[in-house]
Every structure is written in structure tokens, then in C-alpha cells.
Amino acid sequence: MPVLVQPNRAPRRRVKICGLKTPEDIAVVARSGAVYAGLVFFPKSPRNIDIPTARALALEAPVGLAKVALLVNPDDALLDAVTAEVPLDMLQLHGSETPERLSEIRARTGLPVMKALGVADAGDLSAIADYEEVADQLLIDAKPPKEAPLPGGNGLSFDWRLLEGRAWKRPWMLAGGLTPENVAEAIRLTGAQQVDVSSGVESAPGVKDPDRILAFVQSALAV
């Protein structure tokens, strides 16, 4: 069993575990030393949950564990429904939202917004600058294949060396194919101070593995 991070120690690096579905998921993430808990609102995902379930999970989260809603091209009706019922700390936008739409969502909800941006090669990095002025955080993820049904959570990675030495105006988080076995290497290559994982800590699609969550956080914070 991996060693738990002591709760009174503020880790320099911040970890997000995404796609939580059960109270047990919330409990292990809270114990692990992660600081973000991701709740997915996307019907095509095996991690999708409905609004009542998300509300119950968010209310289970202890103080200090930030609740992040993952949404894909949400319309105003969905935004209003989610934010009215679920106590959230941040929205993660994982679709094709424009910078203008990000600004609208920030203004409408009053919540910080993290924008996910897919990277497959160096040419994809230029688009990140378009969001620096409007997003509160950036999520640098692996770009999914064109035929992929999910915008993220596919277990794919990209060449982390593309991010070496790069900096942006906003805090950023690394995602895409991270696992307990490779997260330390990814951090060393990119300098990431924040990392995000979903499928890499699962025993089956949408089923979180407590031991892998604990191992992931331990590996990320030990670098």
C-alpha cells in the first residue's frame, strides 16, 4: 500500500484526479493528497454522472478539495443546471469552446475556468496563446484522434519534450496518458507543477483503483 501524504503538509505540486463517481472515490482522493476532484458531465464518457450524483459527491468532499466540473461545449441551460445544484470551485471546458465563449461562461457562472487544449505536435502549441488572457488555468492534454468519441480520458500521451522550458501567463496542468509509472518522468521533462489523471488510475473504464490513485499522487509529489 503506498504511503499517504500527511494532511498538514502543503505539497508544492498539485494533483487532480478526474472522473470520480462514488463516495469511495472522493474519500480516497481526499486522503491521497490530491487537491482537485474532477466530476464529468459528458454522456459519452464512462465517467459521466448525473447532476444529483455530482451534488452528493461534491457535498462529500472535505474543505480543501476543489470540485471541478468537466463539460464539453456546454450550452447555457446545462451550465445553469449544473452550477445551480452542484457546489463547484472550477469549470473545466474540454470541447471546442472559443476564447469568447470562455469569457461568457466565466461571466455567467462566476466560476474560474480551466480550458483544455490538445497537443499532438509543436504546431498545436500556438493555439494556447489565444486562451491565456481569458482562462484562469490551462490544461495541456494529448489531442485525441479524429475518430475518438471522447475529447479526453483516452489514455493517450504526447511528446512531453514539446513543453520543456515553456511558460504561459496562466497556471497550467499536464494531462494525457499519465500513470503512476510515468508521471515522475513527465514532470521532469515538462516542469509541470500540476498534473491530471483519469484513466491512468482505473482498473476498468470509469472504475477508479484506490491503490493506483495513492501511487499516482505519491509519485507526483515525490519528484
Cβ neighbours of 203 (radius 10 Å) = 11
SS3 41: strand
Contacts 24+ apart (CB under 8 A), 39-43: 39/67, 39/68, 39/69, 39/70, 39/86, 40/70, 40/153, 41/69, 41/70, 41/71, 41/72, 41/74, 41/78, 41/82, 42/70, 42/71, 42/72, 42/94, 42/150, 42/151
Is residue 141 within 8 Å of residue 135, measured between CB atoms? no
Please tell me which residue in 18, 25, 209, 211 is annotated as part of the active site.
18
Please tell me which residue in 25, 75, 121, 141 is annotated as part of the active site.
141
To the query of whether residue 159 is one of the catalytic residues in this protein, the response is no
Phi, psi of 70 (to 5 degrees): -90, 120
SS3 33: coil
To the query of whether residue 18 is one of the catalytic residues in this protein, the response is yes
Residues noted as catalytic: 18, 141
